[in-house]
Structure 1
Amino acid sequence: MTQFSALVSGRDAPLDNALLVFDYVDTSNFKFAGGYFGQDEWRIGRYSNGTWLVDDAITEPIGLDVAYELDLVLQDGRVTLVVDGAIKLSHDFGGVLDGELGLGTNQAKAVFDDVRVNEIARDLVAPQVTEVLVSGSAWSASFMDHLGAAGLGDGGYRVSVGANQMTPLPWMIDKVTARFSEPVAVRSGDLQISGARGGSIAVTDFEWDDVTSAATWTLGAPVASDRVELRLGSSVRDVAGYALDGEWTEGASTVSGNGIAGGDFVFGLRPAAADVDRDGVVTVFDVGPLRDALGISTGDGSYTAAADLDGSGTVDATDAGVLRAQMGRVLSSHVPPSLVMQAPQVAITITGEDRIVTAPGATTAGSIDLVLQTADGSTVDVMDYALRVRLVGPNAGVDVRLTGGGQAGASPAATAPDPLNDAGSADLLPLEHYVSTVNLGPSALHVADGAGLVRIDYEIDPAALGTYRFEILDGAVDGTALSSDGSGAAWSFGILSPTVTVTIPGDTDGDFTVGVADLNAVLANFTQQVDLGDLGRGDLSGPQGVPDGLVGSSDLQVVLATFTNQVTPRAAAAPRAWHGWQKTGSAPVSAPIPTWTPPEIEV
C-alpha cells in the first residue's frame, strides 16, 4: 500500500488548484487528487485526451495561501484522499494503479513542500461503528460534563447497546453521533435517518472530529418521541478503501460488523422526551421522579440526568414545562406495561352522566365531566391522576368527535393550568384524548366524592345518530390512573363509562322511537322547571324551538308531531385494540342509514 504525501497551498490563478498526480501514463492520460481552491472542492479524477473528468468531489471551505497536508493512499485500484488527517474522498478506479507519481496544476499556481512517498503496511481490517451518541444543541456544558464524568458518554449520551439498546431516551434530540474504530471517509448524505411517525428526518449540518473519529449529524428539528432508525451504508470507507463492516443485531450487538468488509449499519434508538422513568410512555408516573429531583444540579450526588429534560444542568420549572407538553405521549408501537394497583380503603368509581340529545340542525359543541365517586362519600388523597377516553359509536370521530378537554365544569378536583395539564395530549384526536395533572407540590390532591376530574369536549354533526360511549380506558400506565403516591403505586377503581345518545326529535328516552313513553315523560313534568335540555324529563323545545328548561305546550307539540316516528341507527364499528392489549365493542354490522326531516313545529 503506497502513501503519497505533500504539504500544498494554492495561489491566486484562474482555477486555483493544487494536485497530486498518480497512475501517470503520459501527458494525455493520468489521474489526480487535490484541492480546487476557487471552487471550494476536494476532487479525485482523471485527465484523458485533453478532458478533465471528476470522479468524486466534496465541497467545503478551502483557503488560499493555507498549507494543507495531503496524503494519498493507493491500494490496488482504490485511492483515498486524506486532508490534515481527515479522510475526504475514496474512489475505486478498478485495476491496478501502477503509473508514475507527480505534482501538477490545471491553469493554476501552487506551492508544494515536504513531498514524500512511503510504502506502508497493508490494512486488512474494515472500519466498525463502536458507539452511537445523541445530544441536543441546547444542552449545557455542565450537562455534557456530567455525562462524561458519569460514564454516560463523551460528546453526548451514549445509547445503550445489547439488551438495553431500546431503552427510551428522555430528551428531545437533534444531534446523532457515530464513533468509528478508525478514520473513515463519511459525508452528510451517507446517513439516512427515519422515524415511525414522520418518515425521513432531514439533516442540516455535519461535522467530523479527527481526534475521536466521530461523525455528528444535526437534524432539521428536534425529535421528541419516535422510533428512529439510523442507516449507514458501504459508502463509508477507511484509508485503505475498506467498506464499513456495519452489520448490527439489535438487542445483542455491542460493536458493528461480522468481521468482513461491507454491510449496512442499521441502528434503532427511541427518543421519548419527558419519559423520566423510561418506560415508553409519559404519564402521571413520570411526575414523581421529576418532583423529587426539582432544584438539584450537576455536581450534587442525587442529580439524575434523566430528570433534566432540557439538559440545562439543573432540574427546574423548565423541565416541568417539557413534561406538561409531552403528557400522554406513547412511544410509537410501544406496548405500555400494566399498572400495579393497590386496593383503596373505600370503593372508587370513575364515571360521568349519561345524556340524550336531539340530532342538531348544525354542528353543536358539548362537554361531559368525568367524576370520581366513593361508596361512602369520603375524600380520597391522590398525588396525580390521568384520564384517557376513547369515543366509540357509529361513525365516531366524524359524526361525533372529541375536540379536547380540560378542567371539569363543576366541582373540579384540580384546576388548570396547574396542577391540571388542561391542554392534554391531542395525538389521537378526534377519537381519543388524554388529560392529566402534573402535581409538583409536596401534598396530595384531596379529591372529594363527586368531584370532577376532567372535562371532555366533543362536537355533534347533524348526520349523527346513535349511542356514543365515552370509554374510560384503564389497565396500562398510559391510561386512566390514580397515583396514590410518588412511588408509582396506583389506586384501583371501577369504571362506568358515560354515553351520549343522539336521537330523533320527540324521543325522550333514547330508544329511537317516539311513543307512549315519551308522551308520558312530557305529561309527568308538565309545567315544571327542569334542567335545561333534559330530554328525559321532557324539555324538548321552547321559544324558537330551543329547549328552555320549562316543560310545556311546545314540548308536547314536538311529541305529538313526531308520534310513532322510528329509526334504526347504524351500529358502531369495532374499535381498534388499545396498544395491542385490549379490545372492546361490537363487530361491524351492516344496517340501513335512516333519513328523516325534523317537522315544522308551531310555538
Structure 2
Amino acid sequence: PNLGPLQNNGGSTDTHALLSGSPAIDAGDPTAKAGVDGIPVYDQRGTPFVRIAGAAIDIGALETTPAAPQVVDVILGGSGWNADFVDAVDDGGVGAGNGLGYSLAGSHQLDSVPWFGANVLYVRFSKDVSASIADADVALTGTNGGSYTLGTLAYGVDGPNVLTIPVPGGIGADRLVLSIFDGVIEDGDGNALDGEWTSGQTTPSGEGTAGGRFDFFFNVLPGDVDGSLQVDAIDAQLAFIANGAAAAIANARNDVNASGLILADDAQLAFTNNGFGLPAPPTPPTAVVVTFPLLAGEDINVPGKPANPDVIDAAIEQLADEPLRRVKLNRLRGRFAILSKRPFGHIFVT
C-alpha cells in the first residue's frame, strides 16, 4: 500500500517511491545515521538523494524527501489600523480573510499601498519553521529608508505558521524589499525554505527544490488614492468625494488613515503628501559570509558580527578527510552552535 509505480524517480534505474501516508516513511531504525555503521550516505539513486531525509530513515531503498517549506503570503499591517478597516482589506471580505492586514502577494504586489501607519509585516509559511527562526535571518531594505530597524520577531502568535515582523519606526513613502536569506530557515526535517519569488506571482514561493533566497518587493506611498504612484491633488479630491462613507473593499484606498471611515482628515492627509512619489527599487542586501577550514577535532570560534551585517553564514571548506556529514551544526541568532554541549558561538568538528 502507498507504493508508487516503477518509474524514473531520479538516479540511473527505475524505482518505487513511497507515497504520502506510507507507514514505511520514517519507520526505520531511529538511531541510524547516514555514513555510520554501514548506512549509506545516499539512497539507491545515488547523489544527491540522501539516505535519511526525515525524522528517521525510511524502510526501503528509496528515501522520501519531505516537501520544503514555502512562503504562501506576505501581509502588511498597522498596529493602529482600525479593525473594521482591516476587515475590509484583508483579502476575504467582511468576517473572512487573514484578519491581520493587506495581503501584498499576487498580481497587485507592486501597486502602491496608500495607507498611513503601516508598521508590521506578517509572513505566512506552508509549514512550521519555528525552530529555525532568528532575528538576523530577515531584513527589510528601502531606497529611502535604508536598512530598517526591526523589532523582535515572533512566530505563531498571530496565526499558525505566521512570522510577525515589527517595524517600530513605521514605513513611509518607499520602495522596499523584504529578504529572507538562503538556507537559514528550515522545517523540522531540516529542509531549507524553498524561497525564490517572482514579483506578481500568485503561487507559493520556490521552484520545487529546498533552498533559495526570498526577496519580496513592495511599494508604500501614503495618500496615493488613485494608485498612480504619485500623490497629487486628484488623490485628495477622491478622498474628499468619498467623505462620510465607511471603508469597504471598493473604496478602502480612500481611507488613507485606516480608521474605518472616510472623513475630511483623509483628504487632508493626502493633500499633506502632495508631490510625493516613489524612488527606484532598492538593491536587496548581501549576506556576510565567514569561511572556516574544516579540520577534524578542532574547536572553531565564530566571531561576532561585522559592522552592520545582514546575516552571517559559515561556509565550511573541506580541507581534511573528515566527511561533511559528520559535522553537526545548528543555526542560532545569526551564528552557528553545535547541537551538543559545546559553547554558544562555536563549531566543533567531530
Given the two structures, how large is their TM-score scaled by the length of structure 1? 0.34
1:244–1:261 CA contact under 8 A, matched in 2:
yes
Equivalent in the alignment of 1:144: 86
Structure 1 pair 250–75 and aligned structure 2 pair: CA distance change class (3 A): farther
Q: Which of 125, 143, 164 pairs up with 1:216?
A: 164
Equivalent in the alignment of 1:229: 177
1:296–1:302 CA contact under 8 A, matched in 2:
no
> Is 2:141 aligned against 1:194?
yes
> Is 2:251 aligned against 1:309?
no
Q: Which of 185, 194, 203 pairs up with 1:245?
A: 194
Structure 1 pair 286–261 and aligned structure 2 pair: CA distance change class (3 A): same
Q: CA deviation at 1:221?
A: 1.1
> Is 2:267 aligned against 1:324?
no
Structure 1 pair 120–244 and aligned structure 2 pair: CA distance change class (3 A): same
Report the aligned-residue RMSD: 2.9
1:186-224 residue CA offsets vs partner (Å, 9 max, x unmatched): 233221110011310110232212642110101131111
Alignment of 1:460-499 (within 5 A): none
Q: Write the letter of the residue equivalent to 1:329.
A: F
Structure 1 pair 303–255 and aligned structure 2 pair: CA distance change class (3 A): closer
Indicate the SS of the match to 2:151: strand
Structure 1 pair 137–76 and aligned structure 2 pair: CA distance change class (3 A): farther
Equivalent in the alignment of 2:207: 258
Q: Structure 2: how far apart are the matches of 1:170 and 1:217?
A: 20
> Is 2:105 aligned against 1:157?
no
Q: Structure 2: how far apart are the matches of 1:302 and 1:267?
A: 24
> Is 2:125 aligned against 1:180?
yes
Alignment of 1:10-159 (within 5 A): 124-148=66-90, 149-150=92-93, 153-159=98-104
Q: Write the letter of the residue equivalent to 1:276.
A: V
2:237–2:267 CA contact under 8 A, matched in 1:
no
Structure 1 pair 75–286 and aligned structure 2 pair: CA distance change class (3 A): farther
Q: Write the letter of the residue equivalent to 1:225.
A: A
Q: CA deviation at 1:333?
A: 2.9
Indicate the SS of the match to 1:268: strand
Q: CA deviation at 1:181?
A: 0.5
Q: Structure 2: how far apart are the matches of 1:326 and 1:291?
A: 15
> Is 2:242 aligned against 1:293?
yes
Q: Structure 2: how far apart are the matches of 1:220 and 1:190?
A: 18
Q: Write the letter of the residue equivalent to 1:274.
A: G
> Is 2:115 aligned against 1:166?
no
Q: Structure 1: how far apart are the matches of 2:164 and 2:269?
A: 25
Q: Structure 1: how far apart are the matches of 2:230 and 2:36?
A: 57
Alignment of 1:335-374 (within 5 A): none
Q: Write the letter of the residue equivalent to 2:225.
A: V
2:72–2:125 CA contact under 8 A, matched in 1:
yes
2:149–2:168 CA contact under 8 A, matched in 1:
yes
Alignment of 1:512-551 (within 5 A): none
Indicate the SS of the match to 2:113: coil
Alignment of 1:553-592 (within 5 A): none
Indicate the SS of the match to 2:174: coil
Structure 1 pair 146–253 and aligned structure 2 pair: CA distance change class (3 A): closer
1:160–1:166 CA contact under 8 A, matched in 2:
no
Q: Structure 2: how far apart are the matches of 1:129 and 1:319?
A: 34
1:433-478 residue CA offsets vs partner (Å, 9 max, x unmatched): xxxxxxxxxxxxxxxxxxxxxxxxxxxxxxxxxxxxxxxxxxxxxx
Equivalent in the alignment of 2:222: 273
Structure 1 pair 160–315 and aligned structure 2 pair: CA distance change class (3 A): same
Structure 1 pair 302–200 and aligned structure 2 pair: CA distance change class (3 A): closer
1:524-582 residue CA offsets vs partner (Å, 9 max, x unmatched): xxxxxxxxxxxxxxxxxxxxxxxxxxxxxxxxxxxxxxxxxxxxxxxxxxxxxxxxxxx
Q: CA deviation at 1:324?
A: 2.6
Q: Write the letter of the residue equivalent to 1:259.
A: G
2:243–2:262 CA contact under 8 A, matched in 1:
yes
Higher radius of gyration, 1 or 2: 1
Structure 1 pair 160–294 and aligned structure 2 pair: CA distance change class (3 A): farther
Q: Write the letter of the residue equivalent to 1:277.
A: D
Structure number with the higher strand fraction is 1
Structure 1 pair 308–133 and aligned structure 2 pair: CA distance change class (3 A): same
Q: CA deviation at 1:95?
A: 6.4
**What is the percent sequence identity of the aligned residues?**
30
Structure 1 pair 126–284 and aligned structure 2 pair: CA distance change class (3 A): same
Runs of 5+ unmatched residues, structure 2: 1-29, 39-54, 59-63, 282-350
Q: CA deviation at 1:97?
A: 11
Q: Structure 1: how far apart are the matches of 2:137 and 2:230?
A: 32
Q: CA deviation at 1:153?
A: 4.4
Q: Write the letter of the residue equivalent to 1:167.
A: D
Given the two structures, how large is their TM-score scaled by the length of structure 2? 0.58
Structure 1 pair 123–159 and aligned structure 2 pair: CA distance change class (3 A): same
Indicate the SS of the match to 1:203: coil
Q: Structure 1: how far apart are the matches of 2:154 and 2:277?
A: 32
Q: Structure 1: how far apart are the matches of 2:236 and 2:32?
A: 60
Alignment of 1:431-510 (within 5 A): none
